[in-house]
Amino acid sequence: MSKHYRKDETGETVEALTVFLADTAVIYYKTHGFHWNLEGENFYSLHLMFEKFYTKLWKSMDEVAERIRALEAKVPSNYAELLKKATLKETEAVPDIMTMVKILRDDYFALAHKAYEVRAVASAQGDFITEDMMILRATFLEKAAWMLHSSLTN
Ligand SMILES: [Fe+2]
């Protein structure tokens, strides 16, 4: 198999992608948890919006993990190991409906910013495949953050 990258050159990208995967896992579960636990007058529309978002996040985890494998590194094989890499925080209690929207908006913006950072690391290594993936991730995350922001009633 011909390779465009030498394994010893991809370490920074692999580390950045692994942190990105961990942070995606945090907001994936947070979004799904809010989908289950939310209550209030906007229940149905937010329940559906959160489902749309967590489905995309779940699919993106597969793409990011498989990019790590294509760069010849291993992906953490359990949640405990993966979550050690996370920089975004999990939510302890169940917040009220508008606090959920604010938390997700801020997390999605934060993860979009991290996608910019991973893109820059990959760019320095000439890895345009990871760059392209991160541009698509940031595009989704910023759009989702805008939709969440626009759902706030105050
Ligand atoms: Fe559901």
pTM comes to 0.94
The tens digit of pLDDT for each residue in 120-145 reads: 999 999 999 999 999 999 999 999 99
Please give the distance, rounded to the nearest whole angstrom, from the Cα atom of residue 97 to the centre of ligand 1.
Answer: 16
Please give the distance, rounded to the nearest whole angstrom, from the Cα atom of residue 85 to the centre of ligand 1.
Answer: 27
Q: What number of residues does the chain have? A: 154
Query: Please, where are the H alpha helices in 4-127?
Result: 11-37, 43-70, 79-83, 97-124
Two structure tokens written together for 78: 């359990």
Cα separation, 23 vs 103, in Å, equals: 14
Q: Which helix or strand (DSSP H or E) is residue 140 part of?
A: helix 128-150
Beta-carbon neighbour count of residue 13 at 10 Å?
24
Please give the distance, rounded to the nearest whole angstrom, from the Cα atom of residue 104 to the centre of ligand 1.
Answer: 17
Please give the distance, rounded to the nearest whole angstrom, from the Cα atom of residue 147 to the centre of ligand 1.
Answer: 19
Q: What are phi and psi of 78, to 5 degrees?
A: -150, 160
The tens digit of pLDDT for each residue in 14-27 reads: 999 999 999 999 99
